[in-house]
Amino acid sequence: MADFQSPLSFPLAIALLCVSSFGCICAHRVGFTVDLIHRDSPLSPFYNSEETDLQRINNALRRSISRVHHFDPAAAASVSPKAAESDVTSNRGEYLMSLSVGTPPFKIMGIADTGSDLIWTQCKPCEGCYKQVDPLFDPKSSKTYRDFSCDARKCGLLEQSSCSGNICQYQYSYGDQSYTMGNVASDTITLDSTAGSPVSFPKTVIGCGHENGGTFSEKGSGIVGLGAGPLSLVSQMGSSVGGKFSYCLVPFSSRAGNSSKLNFGGSAVVSGPGVQSTPLLSSKTMSTFYVLTLEAMSVGNERIKFGGSSSGTGEGNIIIDSGTTLTIVPEDFFSDFSSAVGNQVHGQRAEDPSGSLSVCYSATSDLKVPAITAHFTGADVKLKSINTFIQVSDDVVCLAFAPTASGISIYGNVAQMNFLVGYNIQGKSLSLKPTDCTKK
């Protein structure tokens, strides 16, 4: 039994300009690190200084419900009807990263999304686009920009592509009815390393969006796909980073003065005492998502079997996603799990003022919450209270899990905070190591 810790209360990277095969090899061996900015951080263009920390957390919970659309359009309404009706701008994730497109480099701030593949930004001419505060990328100004022809092999990698004037066109739509359409092209992508020197990847496939709309925020420039599909940023980096990336997400309480970190190549290796590793599975029907097998959850000494199956994943039963705040689980499992939690929490039950979460308690100094462990195949991940409970008001904390009638289960970012989470795509493994992410 542990006291509740209120959420309100990376190796040195040498960045090299990857403009040659030698540079790419060095980026793999040495690695590099970039800042991963939470959308509610003061460093984010989405930051609203008039909101309180609690308002930001509640907005994140509502976005979490909305994001389930991204994985299954039929799922979101089954998570929490009350929360699904909330007025909130949908988005494809909770974290942003700065990168540049083209030669000379043109800086954009894109949403880093482990649930998407394509890297895309709004491009000129853009008459059918959503309003964007920052300037639009003009492909004519880049010396290295090239449109793909319809018979190009890269054009065939897109699930939804078409042809217009022998230029390959893409079309992506999201569960909340947002969409992006434009040219499939290649250009140089440059990342700002925390070590000070930029790292560039020539001939990266991107989407140059000429018609985009829906619920995209005017303060965003596009999406940086970090998914498992062939066109994601990580997949296109390929051997230059050895198929490895990792991140360390700082807790809610630390976001004002700290950014999370996203590591690539040698800097992304997760090793040392406390590391737990589990197979990283590939989905046969939804290749974008990273899928794990969660065998059970323990609440204290009580083990609750997790029998859920992520719809369409083929293998495994839960998607790990940095862009979903809550952990989403099947209704029958949630019933057993929340009952076990309720039996072991020493505290007074309370109501979530927003109605988003159902298992809540008064945030008193004597509140005791049980130890919870996630049992993945080959990995027993011991979670702390900041991973399992979230403060939703000055005097209420809630279990950071939500039930769904859909087959989609998601291991959300609250459960991943203060863990170094490493993805080894080539080695097909995911590793988690308890880490103070404010010091990485």
Residues designated as active site: 113, 321
Contact by Cβ (8 Å): 434, 418: yes
Please give the single-letter amino acid code of residue 51: E
The candidate with the shortest Cα–Cα distance to 183, out of 201, 206, 204, is 206
Return d(Cα 264, Cα 305) in angstroms, integer.
Answer: 34
Kindly provide the residue ranges of all beta strands, DSSP E only, lying in 158-257, ordered along the sequence: 161-164, 167-173, 179-191, 199-213, 222-225, 244-248
Return d(Cα 341, Cα 389) in angstroms, integer.
Answer: 11
Return d(Cα 206, Cα 184) in angstroms, integer.
Answer: 6
Return d(Cα 207, Cα 180) in angstroms, integer.
Answer: 9
Contact by Cβ (8 Å): 232, 225: yes
Vertex 372: Cα angle to 260 and 349 (nearest 5): 100
Return d(Cα 205, Cα 202) in angstroms, integer.
Answer: 9
